[in-house]
Structure 1
Amino acid sequence: MILTERLYEAFQQLGWGRIPEIVHQHAEEAAKENISYLAFLDKLLHEELEAKHHRNLQTRTKLARLPYQKTLAQFDFSFQPTIDERRIKDLATMRFVEHQENLVFLGPPGVGKTHLVVALALEAIALRYSVYFITAHDLVQTLQQAHQTNTMKQKVRMFLKADLLIIDEIGYPKMDAAHFFFQIISERYEKGSIILTSNKWFGSWGEIFGDTVLATAILDRLLHHSVTINIKGRATELKKRKKLGSFKHELMENNDM
């Protein structure tokens, strides 16, 4: 009993959460199968490391504030032929993050831009990069509020510390205080990667930001080291409607039989 208490106290001090749950089971198996001490220890430590990795993954995913979780495997590339699947999978290696480069997804609403950036975010998290997701509207609104409450430095620092900052939905709605957006782009320039999505082509960004000169300054910094993915495919909602329409058509045919 004293030995068990000492072990559990040591587990607690070391921050091991999985080993206390499995140590007796593995000890019994080791005794029955005559497993060596080193093999027994190796199995325990391997499970603890796996559990720790899983906990860290969950924590990083939660801190990323993703709107949902969708993977690249769930994206239907056949429905969007303008997207090069090999190029997206190459981006999933996160080499662009290592080189502090940016990634911009342009395309009309509903073509899967946010799905792709969320999927890339999950790939980044799996590779132990820190990620933060926010819409362009919420980003500017957050900084406006921080300016009013004298907490600007803390908020800006929050948007700078992530290895990968994702800014979604540039273009709706238009920005009233675009200089705050410029500040984040400028501060992260050549220091940290950004992924952006927009339903507007670059030529329309002057209208989005209400200032052509400011839009040009933003684009200069954003596109200096960047990859742009233009999606000209069909909206995923149309795909869903087609499937639903096909289902309804089959249902009507069956009812007529």
Structure 2
Amino acid sequence: MNQIEKIKLHADALRLTQTRNNPEGIIHEAQINKPTYMEFLLSVFECEIKHREKKNIERRIALANLPKDHDLDKYDFNASNGITPSHLKQLRELMWMEQNYNLILMGPSGTGKTFIAAGLIYDAVNTGYKAYFITMEELIKTLKMKEMISSALAKYNRLLKANIIAIDDIMLFPIKKEDAVSFFNLINHLHEQTSVIITTNKSPKEWAETLEDEVLATALLDRLLYRCEVVKMKGQSFRMENRRTIFEPVR
């Protein structure tokens, strides 16, 4: 076994991925730049740390369950939908999370609620927080199946340990009583220890109708609205305004 093979073997044992994958390149660069022993060792460690940080962020982004579009740097402020650049900038700073504030994005479909919620989760992950995005439909399934399926229990436990959660399309469909109770229990557990982002096309007053239980709706809203910013989105649906067609334009 030559020295390069030994380096790869030892690097693999120590999980030094970058060193294991490219020892020749690292040595060749050192031969050109001629760093001191200390500079060389430091550069190897820094390279490994950057690689681990990158992989860690990629792993957490994958776990965050984000929809395809979630980069708020691409947000279109030309669409007049009720949120200003300064307000979005303040939300992206995530200082409100330090006080366990919640955020409700309320308005018609297609006005950017899901995009903003997913973007804030993406920002939170990149900042180092444990953050997750989940639809109401997926959440109800998780709550139902957590006692029977290990993957559902693992997802539920991640939600319990999160710093911030976005729940998309709350109250879009009627919810069975037992599911509503499970949802309340989750929100009650997260209350004042995890920030929750809600997207909904219904006002809080309409939640009682969807839940078919005014007492439960009141208790749920009491916890969500205690420390909460409500952003009312407005305007026309971005999807409808930018609807595509398979047909050629008529001439």
Normalising by structure 2, we get a TM-score of 0.88
Residue 236 (1) aligns with residue 238 (2): yes
Deviations 1:120-143 (A, max 9, x none): 111011011112222112212322
The answer (yes or no) to whether the contact 1:105–1:228 under 8 Å persists in 2 is yes
What are the Cα deviations for residues 87-132 of structure 1, in whole angstroms up to 9, with x where unaligned? 2222212222222221111011111111111111110110111122
Choose 84-93 or 183-192, whichever is displaced more: 84-93
Higher helix share: 1
Q: Secondary structure in 2 aligned to 1:105?
A: strand
Counterpart selection for 2:215 from 203, 207, 213: 213
| Amino acid in structure 2 at the alignment position of 1:37 | Y
Change (3 A) 1:81 1:65: closer
For residues 53 and 210 of structure 1, the distance between their equivalents in structure 2, rounded to whole angstroms, comes to 47
Structure-1 separation of matches of 2:134 and 2:70: 16
Identity of counterpart residues, as a percentage? 30
Contact 1:68/1:118 (<8 A) preserved: no
Q: Distance in 1 between matches of 2:200 and 2:69?
A: 20
CA distance in structure 1 between the aligned counterparts of 2:102 and 2:197, rounded to whole angstroms: 6
Query: Relative to 1, partners in 2 of residues 1:61 and 1:154: Cα closer, same or farther, differing over 3 Å?
Result: closer
Residue type at the aligned position of 2:108: P
8 Å contact kept, 2:103–2:197: yes
Q: Which residue of 1 aligns with 2:165?
A: 165
What code does the residue aligned with 1:62 have? A
Given that 2:102 and 2:196 are in contact with CA atoms closer than 8 Å, whether structure 1 keeps it comes out as yes
Deviation at 1:36, TM superposition (A): 2.4
Give the 3 Å change call, closer, same or farther, for CA 12–205 of structure 1 in structure 2. same
Aligned in 2, Cα 1:186/1:153: closer, same or farther, shift over 3 Å? farther
Query: Aligned ranges for residues 114-125 of structure 1 at < 5 Å?
Result: 114-125=114-125
Give 3-state SS (helix, strand or coil) of 2:231's partner.
Answer: strand
Distance 2:97 2:33 in 1: 47
Normalised by the size of structure 1, how large is the TM-score?
Answer: 0.86
Give me the whole-angstrom Cα distance separating, in 1, the residues matched to 2:60 and 2:76: 26
AA partner of residue 58 (structure 2): Q
Cα distance change of structure 1 residues 141 and 26 upon mapping to structure 2, 3 Å threshold: closer
Give the AA of the match of 1:232.
K
Q: 1:179 to 1:87 in 2, by over 3 A?
A: same
* Kept in 2: contact 1:189–1:221 (CA 8 A): yes
Q: Deviations over 1:129-176 (max 9, x none)?
A: 1122221122123222346x4989876534211221111101221111
The residue that corresponds to 2:74 in the other structure is: 74
Q: Partner of 2:62 in structure 1?
A: 62
Deviates more, 1:25-34 or 1:199-208: 25-34
Could you tell me how far 1:10 is from its partner in structure 2? 3.0
- Distance (whole Å) between structure 2 residues aligned to residue 156 and residue 92 of structure 1: 26
Q: Which runs of 5+ in 1 are unaligned?
A: none
Contact 2:66–2:118 (CA under 8 A) maintained in structure 1: yes
The DSSP-based 3-state class of the residue aligned with 1:174 is coil
Residue 6 of structure 1: how far off its partner (Å): 4.0
1:226 is aligned, of 210, 213, 228, to 228
Counterpart Cα distance in 1 of 2:29 and 2:141:
58
Q: In structure 1, what is the Cα distance between the partners aligned to 2:81 and 2:144?
A: 40
Letter of the structure 2 residue corresponding to residue 216 of structure 1: T
User: Using the alignment, how far apart are the partners of 1:88 and 1:190 within structure 2?
Assistant: 23
Give the residue type in structure 1 aligned to 2:117: V
How many residues are matched? 247
Cα root mean square deviation, aligned:
2.5
